C-alpha cells in the first residue's frame, strides 16, 4: 500500500487554477501534464471529480489525486502589511 502524500498549500490571493496548483505542488512536471491529469479524471476537488483544468481553487478546499492530497489554506499575512493603525 502506497503512502498518501499530504500537502498543505499556502494560497496567496483569492484563488489558484487547478492545473497551476498541481504543478506548484510538484505533482506534475509541466502544465501540460497537470492538464492531462485533470482531463483524464484523476483529480477530485472536495470529493467530486473535477474535469475543468482551470477550475478556481480557493482556501478551504481539498484536492485529491492518486498518491496525494492537497489542503489549500489562506496564507498568513506577512509583517509590514496593511494595518488598521493610524
pLDDT at 78: 63
The answer to which of 15-24, 42-51, 74-83 has the lowest mean pLDDT is 74-83
Q: What does the pLDDT look like over 50-63, one tens digit per residue? A: 999 999 999 999 99
Strands 5-11 and 68-74: parallel
Per domain, the residue ranges of the chain are 5-74
The full length of the chain comes to 86
Q: Domain 5-74 classified CATH 3.40.50.300?
A: no
User: At residue 1, does pLDDT exceed 70?
Assistant: no
Average pLDDT taken over every residue of the chain: 90
pTM for this model (two decimals): 0.84
Q: Which residues of 1-86 form beta strands (DSSP E)?
A: 5-11, 16-17, 44-45, 48-49, 56-57, 62-65, 68-74
- Residue 54 is classified by DSSP as T
Q: What does the pLDDT look like over 67-78, one tens digit per residue? A: 999 999 998 766
Measured between alpha carbons, how far is 39 from 78 in angstroms, rounded to an integer? 36
Amino acid at each position: 500500500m502506497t503512502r498518501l502524500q499530504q500537502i498543505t498549500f499556502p494560497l496567496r490571493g483569492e484563488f489558484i487554477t487547478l492545473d497551476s496548483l498541481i504543478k506548484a505542488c510538484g505533482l506534475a512536471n509541466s502544465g501540460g501534464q497537470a492538464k492531462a491529469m485533470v482531463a483524464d479524471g484523476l483529480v477530485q476537488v472536495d470529493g467530486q471529480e473535477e474535469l475543468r483544468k482551470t477550475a478556481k481553487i480557493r482556501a478551504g478546499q481539498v484536492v485529491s489525486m492518486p498518491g496525494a492530497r492537497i489542503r489549500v489554506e489562506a496564507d498568513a499575512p506577512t509583517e509590514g502589511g496593511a494595518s488598521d493603525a493610524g
